[in-house]
Structure 1
């Protein structure tokens, strides 16, 4: 493998700014790595090699002409396939959009383009980003670089797998119920779900939408900070302005974590089932944080009602965004999405009022908790990366899943609070599978959260452990497709009746 691909985005941008590395050289190495590893993990859904090299050449010309260079000058990057890239196939993993080529960039892509990123293609996602296992009919199933028969998580699973496989050092994902955090935990990388409004995420149907977030994923915390410094800031189409901007990210990290107060929860006080390997990783991380001077004790936010806040808000958002498609062409949409949309349409006024009241009570308890603690430490996922041939885990630690979201509660409960949360590596299980943790801070303390995370990262360096990807045999795409689907990862003709969400 080209040694350039082991470097951080921060290091690579520095090399290109100094003229010691060209964007074309780095972009070609990136494209070569996709060709080498993508047959094994199916992380990259679309590649625009010719366009990427043209954009890299333009970046190199800009530097040679002495122009001011943006923060991510010349950095090759695939974009999440739920994010529109002008002139590039953008499918959201759905047959309904299989040939969709948008005319305009989504806001996050436009900001990355302005920051100097060289767009090279799209990373794979579950259909419309629904669920934390990446499979769809258009491109098939993405698998885990550390174990190519296992899930890479989702919905930013293609990005997480690409990062772990050293395709690229940095990229953008999104997170409603763990879509940055679960794949980061499954793939031994970092993923940040930012505070509301730090990176605006405009919705054409709801300017006040708050549950979904856009954020970065990387192998190094400094790269998360670089990303945030490049793309954070208000958007004119949204009323909300966060009390945090691009200039707040970065700066020196503390020497240790003395004085930082951390509450540790294993089950969120809600009986969330978590398997023994994930609990062992949590304890391992707690010991590291304590050794760095932090005070760690058992404590949690009171998450009473958070399941309803998350579930009902998600259902409303799904109905608003995907309701027209479900009503007009249900045969094009997987059953889990139909269930989520129908749940949104079924909510009545009393339930909506109760959801708002529950969210308000939850925020009061969030404020109370953070009056005593600086961080909440919790499991990064409830179980190890699972068999990629299933749609979602039917049980966790012996507790049956009632819906396709139940195994994601460790992420969904935190989403309901709206708090900034970082997924961080926490070593490996006895089966040599990645395990992660979540570190949650108070609203708009994202920059401080990342500075503390740099201290933890320096003490562990788990993400430096590279998967032995090319030592694995190429998997059979049909064998890796979830049960109840065809070989491309799409529900078979009778899957609607056989599969409950």
Structure 2
């Protein structure tokens, strides 16, 4: 009988156990596939699962390497499922679109290259909404991914499959990507950690544009902050194909996370003085998490954005449409494809057609003013905090919330307005588990760090995890 690996083991401890030969890569793979067979049929987190015989052969090779005294790196023998927006050679990249359902990637994307070079074994993909649009993971290729804590609820998105796979202990760590909270929202809704790195920290390649399109980024997700930091150390680092990528040595993220947050100044943005509608209970849960920071010696005071939120939203819309519309345009070169593209993606494309260069430059100037206003806030505070979502996980059959706290939403993504501030300023932001509402559903608290302050943010999140270990260790029902 093969040794079954403890599903709660951290990725850091799993890596150590593999390298000490306390557990074999084959046993890790067998345990992973067994859990996927048991739990994934209901959650639908992992898609395009590869043939078990192929995966076991790769695990045997990893064991043979260790027997020869060879290690590929920290992820040696770790099973990984890649978000279905990124290319993994020989595996389908569907983007959640029927138009792409049969596309098999001929090459690995840069992030996947780096994870494979560190020893990861790609077992398949994690589910995502069509073209990654909308913070709710459903599509016509694979269907919906269901929340790890309540299968009748949304997993969030667009990294919903990744977040649920982590919560259900199907993966030790996971990659995600984030434009409008796509990594942070599902982390918060499934009680795991997700880091949106600083702009340029994790270069995306191949990319259609490497100069203007800086708002989307790939990044790490995990159940533990130490695992998150280690995965970032693999994903990050400058690359010639991405001229604006950050040059800091990513090895820094493999260092000690020990720190004392006493005296750190936290600014609580809350609901922006009533501007952001939020469902009942969200602020209460996040406030309880803030009290934990106070208990660690941090000062927590109200913070106010130095720019009208409605102006920030209008700026966001221009940038969002300018970057998303051209991604949809190639699929519309064939008019017959229109019937196979979801309405929200068509709306993004249509909105982008009316944009002018003058509008984009004006939005760039507005974004610059917003960035400068955030810098001014960081003269007062070391870190900012804000809820990671404005609503609790909603019914899985709903496309998107039409109203929030009685207020109508005028776009399909307005209900996620709370996440745009870190993105627009290019700042690092980590979603940490804040706790649970009376409905039994999880919520996350987003911490926003200073420019390129990823490491300080990770250390703060680690201190919070240590102070709240029992709450963070809670498992979803049936897992």
Tell me if both proteins adopt one fold, taking TM over 0.5 as the criterion. yes
8 A contact 1:319–1:341 mirrored in 2 = yes
- Do structure 1's residue 178 and structure 2's residue 185 form an aligned pair? no
Correspondence for 1:223: 227
Q: What displacement does 1:245 show?
A: 2.6
8 A contact 1:152–1:161 mirrored in 2 = yes
- Do structure 1's residue 193 and structure 2's residue 196 form an aligned pair? yes
Correspondence for 1:156: 159
Any idea what SS the aligned residue of 1:381 has? Answer: coil
Deviations 1:466-495 (A, max 9, x none): 01136xxxxxxxxxxxxxxxxxxxxxxxxx
For residue 329 of structure 2, the aligned residue among 320, 323, 338 is: 323
CA distance in 1, matches of 2:30, 2:332: 41
CA distance in 1, matches of 2:332, 2:293: 46
What is the correspondence of 1:271-290 to structure 2 with a 5 Å cutoff?
A: 271-290=275-294
CA distance in 1, matches of 2:223, 2:261: 21
Any idea what SS the aligned residue of 1:140 has? Answer: coil
User: Does the C-alpha gap of structure 1 residues 245 and 311 become closer, same or farther in structure 2, counting only changes over 3 Å?
Assistant: farther
Unaligned runs of 5+ in 2: none
User: Does the C-alpha gap of structure 1 residues 452 and 57 become closer, same or farther in structure 2, counting only changes over 3 Å?
Assistant: same
8 A contact 1:300–1:376 mirrored in 2 = no
Correspondence for 1:306: 312
TM-score, scaled relative to structure 2: 0.95
Correspondence for 2:134: 131
- Do structure 1's residue 112 and structure 2's residue 115 form an aligned pair? yes
Instruction: Give the stretch that moved more between structures: 386-395 or 456-465.
Output: 456-465
Q: What displacement does 1:308 show?
A: 2.6
Q: What displacement does 1:255 show?
A: 4.7
Correspondence for 1:474: none
8 A contact 1:326–1:341 mirrored in 2 = no
8 A contact 2:259–2:459 mirrored in 1 = no
CA distance in 2, matches of 1:28, 1:104: 27
Correspondence for 2:440: 432
CA distance in 2, matches of 1:403, 1:205: 26
- Do structure 1's residue 469 and structure 2's residue 472 form an aligned pair? no
Correspondence for 1:448: 456
Correspondence for 2:385: 377
What is the aligned-residue RMSD (CA, Å)?
A: 1.5
Correspondence for 2:216: 212
8 A contact 2:4–2:28 mirrored in 1 = no
Deviations 1:333-391 (A, max 9, x none): 10100111111221112311210110110111011111111100100111111110100
- Do structure 1's residue 80 and structure 2's residue 103 form an aligned pair? no
CA distance in 1, matches of 2:156, 2:27: 31
CA distance in 1, matches of 2:253, 2:363: 34
CA distance in 2, matches of 1:65, 1:202: 33
Q: What displacement does 1:256 show?
A: 3.1
CA distance in 1, matches of 2:315, 2:324: 14
CA distance in 1, matches of 2:294, 2:107: 48
CA distance in 1, matches of 2:179, 2:114: 21
8 A contact 1:146–1:468 mirrored in 2 = yes
Correspondence for 2:34: 32
CA distance in 2, matches of 1:347, 1:204: 22
Deviations 1:3-22 (A, max 9, x none): 52110110101000111111
CA distance in 2, matches of 1:66, 1:3: 22
Any idea what SS the aligned residue of 1:6 has? Answer: coil
CA distance in 2, matches of 1:19, 1:436: 36
Q: What displacement does 1:98 show?
A: 0.5
8 A contact 1:310–1:415 mirrored in 2 = no
Instruction: Give the stretch that moved more between structures: 348-357 or 106-115.
Output: 348-357
Correspondence for 1:473: none
Q: What displacement does 1:232 show?
A: 1.2
- Do structure 1's residue 398 and structure 2's residue 402 form an aligned pair? no
Q: What displacement does 1:106 show?
A: 1.0
CA distance in 1, matches of 2:326, 2:402: 28
Any idea what SS the aligned residue of 1:186 has? Answer: helix
Correspondence for 1:489: none
TM-score, scaled relative to structure 1: 0.91
Deviations 1:99-154 (A, max 9, x none): 11011011111111111101111111100100100000000000011111000100
> Would you say how many aligned residue pairs link Structure 1 and Structure 2?
470
User: Does the C-alpha gap of structure 1 residues 3 and 68 become closer, same or farther in structure 2, counting only changes over 3 Å?
Assistant: closer
Any idea what SS the aligned residue of 1:136 has? Answer: coil
CA distance in 1, matches of 2:68, 2:4: 28
